[in-house]
Chain A
Amino acid sequence: MNEQNPPLIEFRSVRKLFGSFVANDELNLKIHQGEIHAIIGENGAGKTTAMKLLFGLEEPTSGQILYKGEPRPWFGPRDAASAGIGMVHQHFMLSGFHTALENVILGREHASLNREGPLKRKFLSGFLQIDRVKIRDELDRVACKVGFNIPWDCSVENLPVGLQQQLEIVKLLYSGVDVMIFDEPTAVLTPQETSHFLQMLKDLKNDGKTIVIITHKLQEVKEVADVVTVLHHGKSVVTRPAKELSIQAMADLMVGRPVKLGELPRLPQKVSENLIEITDLTVVSPGRPNLLSNLNLTVSAGQIVGIAGVEGSGQMELWSFICGPKDYLNKKKLLSGSFKLFGKEALGLRRSDVREISVGIAPRDRLKEAVLIESSLIENDILGHDHEFACGAFPSNQWLDRGKARKQILSRLDGFHIVPCDPDARIDALSGGNQQKFVMSRELTRKPKLFLCAEPTRGVDVGSIELIHGEILKRRDSGSGMLLISSQIEELMALSDKIYVLFSGRIAAVIDRHNFTEGLIGHAMGGGNS
Chain B
Amino acid sequence: MSSLGWRQFVKFRLLLTEAILALMAVGVGILMGGVLVWIVGEDPVKAILIIFEGAFGTAYDLGMVLYFATILIATGLSVAIPSQTGNFNIGAEGQTLMGALAAGVVGAYGPANLPHGTCLTLAILAALLASGLWGAIAAAIRSYRGGHEVIASIMLNFIAAGVSGWLVVTYFQAPDSQNPETITVPEVFQLHRFDSFDGAPATMAIFIALAFAFCFWLVLERMRPGFVMKAVKQSPEAAIVAGYSPNKAMFWSFTIGSAMCGLAGAVMVLGESWRFRLEISDGFGFLGIPVALLGRSRPLGVVLSAFLFASLHHGSSLLDIESTKIGRDLAQVIEAIVVLSVVSMVPLLRFMTGKFSTRDR
Contacts and interface: CB of A to CB of B under 8 A. Distances in A.
A and B touch in the complex (CB under 8 A): yes
A354 interface: yes
Interface residues of B, number: 25
A27 interface: no
Contacts of B237: 365, 368-369
Interface in B219-235: 222-228, 230-231, 234-235
Interface string B203-232: 000000000000000000011111110110
Interface string B8-20: 0011000000000
A351 B238 contact: no
Contacts of B360: 18-19, 58
Contacts of A323: 241
Interface string B161-200: 0000000000000000000000000000000000000000
Contacts of B230: 372, 375, 379
A283 interface: no
Given A369-B238, A372-B234, A373-B235, A352 B222 contact: no
A359 to B, nearest CB: 10
A387 B242 CA distance: 11
B243 A424 contact: no
A386 B224 contact: yes
A350 B6 CA distance: 40
A398 to B, nearest CB: 5
Given A371-B238, A386-B228, A398-B225, A352 B361 contact: no
A386 B243 CA distance: 10
Nearest to A365: B237
A169 interface: no
A interface residue count range (under 10 / 10 to 19 / 20 to 34 / 35 or more): 35 or more
Contacts of A353: 243
A390 interface: yes
B240 A386 contact: no
Q: Which of B231, B241, B245 has the most CB of A within 10 A?
A: B241
A384 B225 contact: no
Interface string B239-265: 011111100000000000000000000
Interface in A174-201: none
Given A390-B224, A398-B224, A424-B7, A355 B238 contact: no
Interface in B1-59: 6-7, 10-11
Nearest to A399: B223
Interface string A381-408: 0111011001010000111101000000
Interface in A352-370: 352-356, 361, 363, 365, 368-370
Contacts of B244: 352
Contact of B238 (A370, A399, A400): A370
Nearest 9 Cβ contacts at the A-B interface: A384-B242, A352-B243, A355-B243, A372-B234, A369-B241, A351-B243, A424-B10, A386-B224, A369-B237
29 contacts: A18-B360, A19-B360, A327-B240, A350-B243, A351-B243, A352-B243, A352-B244, A352-B245, A354-B243, A361-B241, A363-B241, A368-B235, A369-B235, A369-B240, A370-B238, A370-B241, A371-B238, A372-B235, A375-B230, A383-B238, A383-B242, A386-B224, A386-B228, A387-B224, A392-B223, A398-B225, A399-B223, A400-B222, A424-B6
Interface of B: 6-7, 10-11, 222-228, 230-231, 234-235, 237-238, 240-245, 360-361
